Amino acid sequence: MEGVALITGGGSGIGAATAKAFIAKGVKSIALVDIKQDTLDVTAKSLQEQSDAGVVILTIQCDVTDENQVKEAIQKTTEKFGRIDYAVNSAGITNKSKVGEYQTGDWDRVINVNQKGVFFCMREELSQMEKQDYLPCKSADKRRAQRGSIVNVCSINSFVAARRNAAYVTSKHAIVGLTKTCALDYAAQGIRCNGVAPGYVETPITLAPENIEVLRKSTQPEKTPQGRPAIPEEIADVIVFLSSQGASYVNGAVWEIDGGFLCL
Ligand code: NAD
């Protein structure tokens, strides 16, 4: 797979696993965007050690809730690599409260990262993708060529509620609308936009002491038919496929990757 990938939330969890999955498919230019420089450094070092020569990993510290920082992150990426073929918006946070008990600051923090932050990133990613040429197409039928692809990391909570988690659930429902609208608005320009909706995944968010009991209970077979959480690689592989030319006719879709959770 040729091209340049940019991943927000790339320092950890699903974002870091997605970078690894892109590299495994042959992508050589990766921009990792995250608010935490220390996790960026650790992830980039580990990816670099596991990669062949020629893989270039650019780390960019950026708070996705700050539109100027997002603009700069996209600029730094294009200065280094010239284009962005695959954008994955994975940066996300959560906090827990009942609807009537939310403090305004807690509500705003989640909405600003998970909803407004995804919008800020998409706006800049799209502005770059719109002005770049199509990536050379491997297929005999050139209608499969793409100028760019965006994958937003949604959630099962894009479709169903979770107790005491209203801001997260609201933000994740919202980005389904954003994803589908983007698919409509940019299809004619050769840009696809899709989402993935993971169920419970073993990452620092779900393994945190305050969340681990929820992870354990929610991945019992009566809740998650496969009876276990996903590992980040199981989400990353689908993200990379959705980004690739292999998914050239998938647009505006949000794929559930949840071990069957939403079947029940
Ligand atoms: P994670 O905490 O491992 O990764 C999230 C990354 O986002 C972190 O590196 C964090 O530093 C970064 N981040 C947070 N705020 C940011 C900001 N303002 N600007 C830039 N970066 C910021 O968690 P994860 O589980 O890999 O989560 C990735 C995405 O997957 C999130 O959007 C999350 O909602 C979604 N998701 C996770 C699960 C799960 O079970 N882990 C399930 C469904 C959806």
Q: Which of 12, 175, 196, 216 to mutate to test the pocket of ligand 1 (most atoms within 8 A of CB)?
A: 12
Higher per-residue pLDDT: 138 or 14: 14
State the pLDDT confidence band at 146, using cuts at 50, 70 and 90: very high
Task: Tell me the per-residue pLDDT of 161-186, one tens digit each, with 9 for 90 and over.
Answer: 999 999 999 999 999 999 999 999 99
Task: Tell me the per-residue pLDDT of 241-264, one tens digit each, with 9 for 90 and over.
Answer: 999 999 999 999 999 999 999 999
Task: Tell me the per-residue pLDDT of 74-116, one tens digit each, with 9 for 90 and over.
Answer: 999 999 999 999 999 999 999 889 999 999 999 999 999 999 9
Contact between residue 179 and residue 195 where contact means Cβ atoms under 8 Å apart: yes
Query: What value does the mean pLDDT take over residues 209-217?
Result: 93
Task: Tell me the per-residue pLDDT of 42-64, one tens digit each, with 9 for 90 and over.
Answer: 999 999 999 998 999 999 999 99
Q: Which of 18, 119, 205 to mutate to test the pocket of ligand 1 (most atoms within 8 A of CB)?
A: 205
Counting from 1 in the atom list of ligand 1, the atom nearest the Cα of 200 is 40
**Is any atom of ligand 1 closer than 6 Å to the C-beta of 121?**
no
Would you say residue 210 has pLDDT above 90? Answer: no
Contact between residue 238 and residue 201 where contact means Cβ atoms under 8 Å apart: no
Contact between residue 196 and residue 151 where contact means Cβ atoms under 8 Å apart: yes
Smallest Cα–Cα separation from 123: which of 71, 168, 196, 198? 71
Report the predicted TM-score, pTM, of the whole model to 2 decimal places.
0.98
Contact between residue 193 and residue 239 where contact means Cβ atoms under 8 Å apart: no
| Cα 203 to middle of ligand 1, angstroms | 9
- Structural domain of 147: 4-263
Active-site residue, selected from the candidate residues 168, 186, 200, 249? 168
Which residue pairs, CB below 8 angstroms and at least 24 apart, start in 43-46?
43/10, 43/11, 43/12, 43/16, 43/19
| Cα 78 to middle of ligand 1, angstroms | 24
Cα 72 to Cα 64: distance, rounded to the nearest angstrom: 11
The total domain count for the chain is 1
**Is any atom of ligand 1 closer than 6 Å to the C-beta of 146?**
no
CATH of the domain at 186: 3.40.50.720
CA distance readout (Å), 180 to 2, 193, 226, 253: 26, 7, 29, 7
What separation, in Å, do the N-terminal and C-terminal C-alpha atoms of the chain show? Answer: 36
Residue 129 sits at φ, ψ, to 5 deg, of: -60, -40
Would you state the pLDDT for residue 112? 98
Counting from 1 in the atom list of ligand 1, the atom nearest the Cα of 65 is 18
